[in-house]
């Protein structure tokens, strides 16, 4: 903890011009513990710009399931090298205990920043890299091969580093099924509907119309059918918590697993909305118990509380019970 305090103090002095960037570059890099993610849920994905020292100080204490360190559009071109350095030094001095998924959002594969993002940040061994503005399966294959080469060269367990994707281009939406089949590392996809509608030259108000509904529904269907978590877009008005909650409720009903968050208060709401209620958990327990007894008795299903419980209902109940272990 003392080392991290020293690190952040050094970073603050660099930002204020009281210290040379050389001091930050010379800051020691450790060999921290890397435990796999034990919390399998992605109800809340809190994104933090990699150049914001104030926000980085507290980020690991936040209650989000996923912490995303951003070096893409949340960081100016001039500050990207500083953001990379800050994230690298922070993560190489921080153990991952598996309670949160640690993700780095990098620039598009065809950008001038991608190579530096990957080469400078791969040694931090995050749980995942989130690739921005994916356009084709080939983008994913290329990233997968680079990660594989790194894992092999450094003795990292094969497949430890996952891939997450920002789906925010018309090409990606159109080829989503192909893209999701391009790598076994993919475990989550994020819908960037603001960028998508921008590329389509459509007003953002269309998000709430039929086209926005179609995009969201199609996105969720393809994601879940490939065993990948679909994460809903960020709600930009961070002060409008009622609006955030209304949108999140609709997205949960659509089938999203969680939501991008840009504030701690949004995280708390997302965690509540994307978790089942106590009543839903109790009902799931009863369904599992009744169905498993029926199977033991040689039945393929059973009537319970006016419902016919078969395998799909049983699987749904098991998924609900996973949350009860949080």
- Given pLDDT bands bounded at 50, 70 and 90, which one contains residue 325? low
Share of the chain above pLDDT 70, in %: 98
Q: Return the pLDDT at 43.
A: 96
Q: Return the pLDDT at 310.
A: 85
Average pLDDT over residues 138-167: 98
**Distance between CA atoms of residues 199 and 192, nearest Å:** 11
- Given pLDDT bands bounded at 50, 70 and 90, which one contains residue 263? very high
Q: What is the CA radius of gyration of the chain?
A: 21
For the chain, the average pLDDT equals: 93
Q: Return the pLDDT at 295.
A: 87
Q: What is the pLDDT of residues 17-71, one digit of tens each?
A: 999 999 999 999 999 999 999 887 899 999 999 999 999 999 999 999 999 999 9
Greater model confidence, 311 or 105: 105
- Given pLDDT bands bounded at 50, 70 and 90, which one contains residue 313? confident
Greater model confidence, 276 or 175: 175
Share of the chain above pLDDT 90, in %: 77
Q: What is the pLDDT of residues 219-235, one digit of tens each?
A: 999 999 999 999 999 99
**Distance between CA atoms of residues 50 and 83, nearest Å:** 5
Q: Return the pLDDT at 250.
A: 96
Average pLDDT over residues 243-266: 96
Greater model confidence, 119 or 318: 119
Q: Return the pLDDT at 40.
A: 73
Alpha helix segments (H runs only) across the chain? 2-15, 21-25, 53-58, 80-91, 114-121, 137-154, 170-174, 176-180, 193-199, 210-225, 241-254, 264-273, 278-296, 311-323
Domains in the chain, start-ordered, CATH in brackets? Answer: 2-275 (3.20.20.60), 280-323 (no CATH)
Does residue 326 have a pLDDT over 60?
A: no
Greater model confidence, 317 or 130: 130
Q: Return the pLDDT at 164.
A: 98
Does residue 267 have a pLDDT over 60?
A: yes
Answer whether 237's CB lies under 8 Å from 246's CB: no
Does residue 90 have a pLDDT over 70?
A: yes
Q: Locate 303 and state its tokens.
A: 């009537």
- Given pLDDT bands bounded at 50, 70 and 90, which one contains residue 206? confident
- 249-286 burial by CB neighbour count: b if 16+ within 10 A, else e? eebbeeebbbbbbbbbebbbbbbebbbbeeeebebbee
- Given pLDDT bands bounded at 50, 70 and 90, which one contains residue 170? very high
Task: Give the dihedral sign, CA 203/208/211/213.
Answer: positive
Q: Return the pLDDT at 323.
A: 66
């Amino acid at each position: 903890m003392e080392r991290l305090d020293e690190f952040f103090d050094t970073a603050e002095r660099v930002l204020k011009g009281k210290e040379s960037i050389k001091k930050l570059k010379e800051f020691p890099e450790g060999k921290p513990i890397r435990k796999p993610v034990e919390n399998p849920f992605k109800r809340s994905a809190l994104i933090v710009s990699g150049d914001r020292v104030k926000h980085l100080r507290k980020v690991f204490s936040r209650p989000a399931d996923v912490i995303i360190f951003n070096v893409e559009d949340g960081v100016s071109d001039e500050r990207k090298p500083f953001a990379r350095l800050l994230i690298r030094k922070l993560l190489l001095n921080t153990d991952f205990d598996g309670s949160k998924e640690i993700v780095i959002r990098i620039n598009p594969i065809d950008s001038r920043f991608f190579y530096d993002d990957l080469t400078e940040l791969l040694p931090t061994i995050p749980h995942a890299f989130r690739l921005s503005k994916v356009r084709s399966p080939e983008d994913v294959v290329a990233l997968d091969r680079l990660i594989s080469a790194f894992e092999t060269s450094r003795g990292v367990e094969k497949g430890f580093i996952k891939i997450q994707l920002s789906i925010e281009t018309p090409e990606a939406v159109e080829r989503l099924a192909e893209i999701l089949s391009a790598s076994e590392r993919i475990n989550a996809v994020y819908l960037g509907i603001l960028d998508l509608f921008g590329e389509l030259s459509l007003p953002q108000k269309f998000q709430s119309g039929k086209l926005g509904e179609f995009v969201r529904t199609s996105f969720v269907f393809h994601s879940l059918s490939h065993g990948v978590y679909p994460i809903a877009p960020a709600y930009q008005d961070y002060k409008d918590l009622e609006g955030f909650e209304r949108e999140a409720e609709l997205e949960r009903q659509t089938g999203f697993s969680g939501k991008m968050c840009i504030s701690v208060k949004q995280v708390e709401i997302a965690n509540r909305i994307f978790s089942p209620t106590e009543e839903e958990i109790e009902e799931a327990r009863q369904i599992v118990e009744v169905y498993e007894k029926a199977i033991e008795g040689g039945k393929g299903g059973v009537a319970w509380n006016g419902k016919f419980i078969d395998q799909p209902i049983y699987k749904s109940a098991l998924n609900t019970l996973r949350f009860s272990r949080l």
